[in-house]
Amino acid sequence: MQRSNDSGTPKFAAIKEFILSQIESGNWPEHSRVPSEHELCDQFAVSRMTARRALQELTEQGVLYRTQGVGSFVASPKSQSALLEIRNIADEIQARGHFHSARLVQLTSLPCPTVVATALGLVRNEPVFFSLIVHFDNQTPLQLEARYVNPKMVPLYLQQDFAFQTPHEYLSAVAPLTEADHIIEAVLADEFTCKHLKISAHEPCLRLTRRTFSREGAVSFAFLTSAGSRYRLGGHLNITPVK
């Protein structure tokens, strides 16, 4: 029997760390079955609820996938983003036990394009802030983030260092998110995207177009492009039966 350590780590977190360590070490390759809730209860001397929480969180993070009536298995090594929530990409990557880094390609003020003006409630060709960033998962380019930001809402945006703080983190702090809308579509990578994500010509990609709002109005309009072979979208829904 394996017991949780006495360092103050919650028992469910200790189980998650154990499972992640087995996956990262290669002991449990892709599609390997992981211990069941019952087996984890015996191994770690925990309740069924604790074991279930560990497996559920790893499933929601895209580390595992579950097959009803069969068990939980190691997912393919793609990053997964929750479809119905907005998460910081650095947190997504770190939740997988990986290292996030970012390379700032461009940070500037430019004339507002028509589509962006419409999205942010600005006037065409008036100044809008723009950032272009490549996000890395363990040194592998994962996502190309092109973001337009409303200068009226976030006047100090161009003064930030986005190599150490993501735009999501900064905007959440200075203009707390109250709502968002987004569109998800499959696109073919153009030459510019291929260059920054280091993928082959015309590889299928996922592009998420997202507009975020604070209480005062539209804050940002972003195009988040990821290689389809490295990224996926998913989520978990709790559904209350109709009585």
Contact between 104 and 163 (Cβ < 8 Å): yes
- Which of 57, 74, 91 finishes a domain? 74
**Pairwise pLDDT comparison (55 vs 7), residue with the higher score:** 55
Question: Which residue has 């992981």 as its token pair?
Answer: 34
CATH of the domain at 40: 1.10.10.10
Q: Work out the pLDDT band at 6, boundaries 50, 70, 90.
A: low
Backbone angles phi, psi at 72, to 5 degrees: -110, 145
- With respect to residue 6, please indicate whether it lies within any of the assigned structural domains: no
State how far the Cα of 117 lies from the Cα of 95, in Å rounded to an integer.
Answer: 35
- With respect to residue 242, please indicate whether it lies within any of the assigned structural domains: no
The mean pLDDT of the chain is 86
State how far the Cα of 72 lies from the Cα of 84, in Å rounded to an integer.
Answer: 22
Nearest to 102 by CA among 159, 130, 144, 62: 144
Residue-wise burial string across 37-69, b where 16 or more C-beta atoms lie within 10 A, e elsewhere: beebbeebebeeebbebbbbbbbbbbbbeeeee
**Pairwise pLDDT comparison (29 vs 225), residue with the higher score:** 225
Radius of gyration of the chain from its Cα atoms, rounded to whole angstroms: 21
State how far the Cα of 165 lies from the Cα of 123, in Å rounded to an integer.
Answer: 29
- With respect to residue 1, please indicate whether it lies within any of the assigned structural domains: no
What total number of domains does the chain contain?
Answer: 2
At 156-190, the pLDDT tens digits run 999 999 988 999 999 999 998 888 888 888 999 89
pTM: 0.65
Contact between 206 and 188 (Cβ < 8 Å): no
State how far the Cα of 52 lies from the Cα of 71, in Å rounded to an integer.
Answer: 12
Q: What is the pLDDT, as a whole number, of residue 65?
A: 80
**175 plus 99 within the same structural domain:** yes
Which one-letter DSSP state was computed for residue 33? B
Q: Work out the pLDDT band at 237, boundaries 50, 70, 90.
A: very low
Backbone angles phi, psi at 159, to 5 degrees: -95, 5
At 34-59, the pLDDT tens digits run 999 999 999 999 999 999 999 988 88
Q: Which domain holds residue 168?
A: 79-234
Question: Which residue has 């600005």 as its token pair?
Answer: 122
Q: What is the pLDDT, as a whole number, of residue 59?
A: 82
At 60-119, the pLDDT tens digits run 777 888 876 778 888 876 554 554 466 788 888 888 888 999 999 999 999 999 999 989
Number of H helices and number of E strands within the chain?
7, 10
State how far the Cα of 193 lies from the Cα of 105, in Å rounded to an integer.
Answer: 12
- With respect to residue 241, please indicate whether it lies within any of the assigned structural domains: no
Q: Taking residues 23-31, what's their average pLDDT?
A: 86
pLDDT at 23 over 90: no
State how far the Cα of 125 lies from the Cα of 172, in Å rounded to an integer.
Answer: 26
**20 plus 120 within the same structural domain:** no
- Which of 45, 74, 103 finishes a domain? 74
At 119-149, the pLDDT tens digits run 998 999 999 999 999 999 999 999 999 999 9
